[in-house]
Amino acid sequence: MSTAGRPVTIHPLHGIPEITAGDHLGEVLRDALAHAGLTLEDGDVLAVSSKIVSKAHDLREPDDGRAESVLRHSRRIVAERRAPSGTTRVVEALAGPVMAGAGIDGSNTGPDGRLLVLPHDPDLAARQLYADLLTAYGQPLPRIGIVVTDTAGRPWRAGQTDFALGACAVAVLDDLRGSTDVDGRPLAVTSRAVADEIAAAADLVKGKASGVPAALVRGLPEGTVTGPGAAGARALVRTGAGDWFGLGAAEAVRSALGVAPGTPAADSVGVASVAPEEYADRLARAVRLARHGEQPATVRETPHGLVVEAADPFVAGRVCARLEVALASEGLGGTAVARAAAPAVSEGRTGSPAD
């Protein structure tokens, strides 16, 4: 892909009406381009919000249980936290990316109040939009690309940004490995997520608040637009051995102790809050996690740390080891843990702070 510097321009497409089920998005975009005085040219990319794609395809569900909808549209749960509105989950969505709430949207969804869900195959949705444009124009198109965009947060950065949920006829990744930088040093790991950069740039002129769901991006480097058979945005999703962050830090520890996120066991043990919590609440949750699936044991708090007691010394030892790990999941890893010198409770006895 050529990186010769030239101006890139981003044109918002105003005047797009409220989209309803069955609307022909190709015709809608054709009319919006004409209204803006724009004619498609070779190398152009249309960045289109997934929201209007979902509306046109009638991908809606009743708002009668957001948590259940999230689970239905998820492959797996990565992390979860309690919030005032319920449990918020970061998941690997059926649509492909890892994102909060499986991308289910309750804002700007139209008058019926139902939730919008993402297409399960966003690349196919992008190809269908390309085909709709062919139909709308009734003639061969210039060499253009489509990026279907959505919004998500990022693990190491505050705030949200748009990214490529689906793509058609766009080189989604510019793999620079094997080339050299301006100083002649070899590039070993650099791959530019071009489709994500297009989506984020386009969002500067569209977005939720402005009511502009699409933009034309022009002046991109030669080779950005390829052909409809190119790999889509799903190629950008890390899976398998390439996914270093398959679970949140706390969820990885809890899963190792038999309490996977999104399960009844997780609800029983308790889920951490997005807000700061009292030490006693975090400690009690760690104790419940340590005792999950084990024979009865009691954990006592003493001036010197935590003491684990059980009728069977082996059980006490197991709970001790599990408790040290559970405390780390709550950020309490410096707490001392010891087994009682001798059995001091009968089976079935419970005590603070786990009660």
Within its chain, how far is the Cα of 309 from the centroid?
Answer: 42
Residue 354 pLDDT exceeds 80 = no
pLDDT digits (tens, 9 = 90+) for 278-297: 999 999 999 999 999 999 99
As a whole number of Å, the CA-based R_g of the chain is: 26
Query: What is the structure's pLDDT at 347?
Result: 44
- Which 3 state secondary structure label does DSSP give 327? helix
For residues 313 and 172, membership in a common domain is answered with no
DSSP-derived secondary structure letter, 63:
S
Q: What is the pLDDT of residue 6?
A: 82
Give 76's pLDDT tier (boundaries 50, 70, 90): very high
The CA distance from 187 to 179, in Å, is 6
Last residue of a domain, one of 222, 242, 262: 242
Per-residue pLDDT reduced to its tens digit, 77-116: 999 999 998 899 999 999 999 999 999 987 766 667 789 9
What pLDDT is recorded for position 240?
A: 83
CA-to-CA distance for 210 and 176, rounded, in angstroms? 36
Mean pLDDT comparison of 119-123, 152-156, 170-174, 331-335, highest-scoring range: 119-123
Q: For residues 33 and 31, what is the distance between their CA atoms, to the nearest angstrom?
A: 5
Contact call for residues 33 and 216 (beta carbons, < 8 A): yes
Structural domain contains residue 215: yes
Same domain? For 203 and 280 the reply is no
CA 321 to chain centre: 33
User: Do the beta carbons of residue 78 and residue 261 sit within 8 Å?
Assistant: yes
Residues 299 and 314 occupy one common structural domain: yes
Separation of alpha carbons 160 and 226, rounded Å: 28
Residue 67 lies in a domain: no
Phi, psi of 186 (to 5 degrees): -70, 140
Confidence of residue 127 (pLDDT cuts 50, 70, 90): very high
Cβ pair 261, 254 in contact under 8 A: yes
Segment 15-42, tens digit of pLDDT:
999 999 999 999 999 999 999 999 999 9
**Domain that includes residue 220, residue range:** 9-59+119-242
Q: How far apart are CA 259 and CA 270, in angstroms?
A: 10
Residue 158 resides in a domain: yes
Tell me the H-state helices in 183-305: 194-202, 249-256, 264-269, 279-291
> Per the domain annotation, does 321 fall within a domain?
yes
pLDDT at 182: 58
Q: What is the mean pLDDT of residues 255-260?
A: 97
Whether residue 95 is contained in a domain is answered as no
Last residue of a domain, one of 242, 277, 297: 242
Asked if residue 281 and residue 226 are part of one domain, the reply reads no
Task: Using the predicted structure, report yes or no on whether residue 179 has a pLDDT greater than 70.
Answer: no
Quickly state the pLDDT bin for 161 (edges 50, 70, 90).
very high
Q: Are residues 332 and 191 part of one domain?
A: no
Based on the domain organization, do 167 and 24 belong to the same domain? yes
**What pLDDT is recorded for position 180?**
57
> Of 185, 211, 242, which closes a domain?
242
Any idea what the CATH number is for the domain that residue 232 is in? 3.30.1330.100
Note whether 146 and 207 are same-domain residues.
Answer: yes
Q: Tell whether the model's pLDDT for residue 253 goes beyond 80.
A: yes
Q: Is the pLDDT confidence value at 346 over 60?
A: no
1 part of a folded domain: no
Q: How confident is the model at residue 345 (pLDDT cuts 50, 70, 90)?
A: very low
Asked whether residue 232 falls in the same domain as residue 159, the answer is yes
Residues 170, 53 share a domain: yes
- pLDDT tens-digit series, residues 188-247: 555 789 999 999 999 999 966 678 999 999 999 999 999 898 999 999 998 888 888 899
Q: Which two tokens stand for residue 257?
A: 């102790």
Report the domain count for the chain: 2
Buried b (16+ CB within 10 A) or exposed e, 50-67: bbbbbbbbebbbeeeebe
Cα–Cα dist 148/170, whole Å: 11
- Residues paired with residue 299 on neighbouring β-strands, in sequence order: 308
Helix extents (H) in 73-177? 122-137
pTM of the model: 0.85
